[in-house]
Structure 1
Amino acid sequence: MTEKPPICFYYGDKHLDELATYPRVVLQPEFYTPQELAQLADKGVQTLGYLSLSEDQGPPAPWQRQERNPDWGGAFVEVGHPLWVEHVVGQAKDAMAAGFAGLFMDTLNVELTYPEDVPHLLTLVAAIRTEAKPGYLLANRGFGMLPRLAELVDGVVFESFSARWTDEGYAPWPADVLEFHAQIAEQLLQLELDLYALDYADSPGLTDFAMRRARQFGMQCVVSDRALSRV
């Protein structure tokens, strides 16, 4: 029997019964009511609300840059813009007030796009940490903020650690990227954090590769599809 993953990343709605079989789930806050979150909590599920910290899928706003994410279409933002900070911290407050047990912080790789925003992003994470106490904070990557980030969060997700989606389908990373990721994983192992790998695969062989490689680096692995639609 296949062992149940320790966490589920699910960006759809409904499926409460299936979600209740996981110890921890990452959900889109707008898809779940406080009553549904309470149902999951009663069954021992720790719910984490999704937050995007450097990209905005919303309508035009003063914090948005002209450039957009080529994969998902969201606008990159000026992370230190006071109104963006207010917006994101407000989302964090709302999610915690609705009954989420913590937050999942996404789009933390600003060192690859706007490295000047790294200090602003750390400040934003610290503000979210204040709002989420004593809740659980999970960061997606954010390696440009280490080691300071490790003082603010409870866990780190290494998205696309071994496998990824491309225009041609799902595939392992080339050898040089796998080696680079391995070096980062070695650094993460020195930190007192929960570590997860989130990989993308659509075949048993690629799934097994991702699971085995994650275990080698002390990470619990979750394998899903590009849209994170699997429960």
Structure 2
Amino acid sequence: MTTSRLLLDASTSPTPAAGATRVPPKPLAVYYGHGSLQRLSAYRMVVLHPQHYTPAEILWLKGRGVKPLAYLSVGEDPSPEPSAWSRRSRNPAWNTWYVKIGHPAWNARLYATAAEALQHFDGLLLDTLDSSILFPTDRSPLLRTLRSLRQRHPDAYFLANRGFDLLPDMARYVNGVLMETFTTSWEDGYRKLRPHELAYTAEMLRRVRSCDLEVYALDYATTDQQRRAARVRARALGLTTFVSVRELNSI
């Protein structure tokens, strides 16, 4: 969408009639597609890939009361070839390289990417924080990285995607936690989590709340039954969940 088209859409958007009841915004959308600005404006906070939107489009969302967050991968590198900061192993689900957390060149790239995004976005979704589960020595470097991001951007909103292994220490550096795959998953075919997996996410929810952090859920589904199961369980536990597909390209 061009800037002129965006401004045209903004100037011709319908204004609610006097006395009309405004529909409260939905809490959160996680959307890695392009466009769909009108649909995104129905949410209080949205997570986007920064390269998919122009500064004017982000400003348009902000003008409608939306808090835009930029996606940032902390522990994995999507580059096709390994770099100096790459480990020898990859995440097979996404073909990304696990990185050596704390490597100076990776940190420089990470901090530069964050600073560029925060010129226009209100905050960051900090993804791939679970590497310390695979590489236990990564826990301290991950926390140092989060601390440095917070020191560099004290007013930004940071939403951690999972990262449960970093609690409670992580709570000093982030504002909230996104509980991805809270009730339903795309792995092994789209399905509801098994009883022991549901017990795990319920316990992680308790831990996040004990840290006095905001908490959001994200689920994956392709059928009405799966979507209903995700929403019913989230509501029963005092949450709302954003339900999408593996690619996160649907709203």
Fold conserved between structures, TM > 0.5 = yes
Q: Which residue of 1 aligns with 2:220?
A: 200
Q: Indicate conservation of the 8 Å contact 2:25/2:44, yes or no.
A: no
Q: Structure 1 residue runs of 4+, over 4 Å off? A: none
How big is the shift at 1:136? 0.9
The 5-angstrom pairing of residues 55-204 of structure 1 reads: 55-58=76-79, 59-97=81-119, 99-167=120-188, 169-204=189-224
Classify the secondary structure of the residue corresponding to 1:205. helix
Q: Taking every aligned residue pair, what percent have the same amino acid on both sides?
A: 38
**Residue identity in the other structure for 1:78:** K
**Residue-pair matches, total:** 228
Higher Rg? 2
After superposition, residues 14-53 of structure 1 pair within 5 angstroms as 14-53=35-74
Aligned pair in 2 of structure 1 residues 196, 19: CA closer, same or farther (>3 Å)?
Answer: same
| CA displacement at 1:205 relative to structure 2 | 1.4
Matched letter for residue 204 of structure 1: D
* Letter paired with 1:161: F
User: Partner of 1:166: helix, strand, or coil?
Assistant: coil
8 Å CA contact retained: 2:90, 2:97: yes
Cα gap change, 1:221 to 1:50, in 2 (>3 Å)? same
**Are 2:45 and 2:66, in contact at CA under 8 Å, matched by a contact in 1?**
yes
SS across alignment from 2:72: strand
Which residue matches 1:210? Answer: 230
Deviations 1:12-52 (A, max 9, x none): 11112221221110000111111111111111110000000
RCO comparison, higher one (Cα < 8 Å, 6+): 1
**Residue in 2 aligned with 1:219?**
239
Contact 2:26 2:42 in 1 (8 A): no
Q: Deviations over 1:200-220 (max 9, x none)?
A: 111121112111222333332
SS in 1 for 2:65: coil
Matches of 1:188 and 1:55, distance apart in 2? 23
1:125 Cα offset (Å)? 1.0
Contact in 1 for aligned 2:176/2:213 (Cα 8 Å): yes
Amino acid at match of 1:83: A
Measure, in 1, the Cα distance between the counterparts of 2:187 and 2:122.
Answer: 33
Contact 1:107 1:140 in 2 (8 A): yes
* Cα distance in 1, alignment partners of residues 240 and 215 from structure 2: 6
